[in-house]
Every structure is written in C-alpha cells, then in structure tokens.
Amino acid sequence: MFLAVVNSPWLWRVTWPPLRWARLGSVVVGILFVLYLIYAELFKIGAICLLCTSVHVITFALFALIVFSAAAGYGTAKAPARG
C-alpha cells in the first residue's frame, strides 16, 4: 500500500528528499523480501506460485524504475537558471 501511494503521479513530482529516500528504501526492502520469497518457493516449499511470480515481476519492475530514476536525478529540485 505504501508503494502505491508514494508512486502515485501526484507524489512522484514532489521533490522533498525524505520522500524520495522513503520510496527508494521501501522498494529495496520489497525486492529483498521478493528474493526471500523466491528462495522459499524454490527450496523450502518446492513449488512455484504463478500469482506470486507475477507480483515478483511487478516488484522488480518498480525496483528498476525507482532505482534508475533516482540515479538519473528525477524528482530532485532543479537549480535556477543563471544569466
């Protein structure tokens, strides 16, 4: 639920640094949890859930988008133009 709210179009344009760090931190925690769930599916349970796999793919896509947008500087305050 938190990721759905902080990744909404309205909050994506907010340049408040704590919000950007919260978005990045939550998606890192999410991808770590996905990795644990994949481990549990493969080695503990011994079965793959197709619904779970689709959620894992969506979480990985969000992870890639948020990390690459943070690295590119999207959502940061723009410096005023000189001259």
pLDDT in tens, 45-56: 999 999 999 999
Contact between residue 63 and residue 28 where contact means Cβ atoms under 8 Å apart: yes
Whether this model's pTM surpasses 0.85: no
Give pairs for 69-73: CB < 8 Å, separation 24+. 70/20, 70/24
Per DSSP, the three-state class of 80 is coil
Domain ranges for the chain: 20-72
Burial of 3 (0-12, 13-18, 19+ CB in 10 A): middle
Contact between residue 70 and residue 8 where contact means Cβ atoms under 8 Å apart: no
Residues of the chain with pLDDT under 70: 74-83
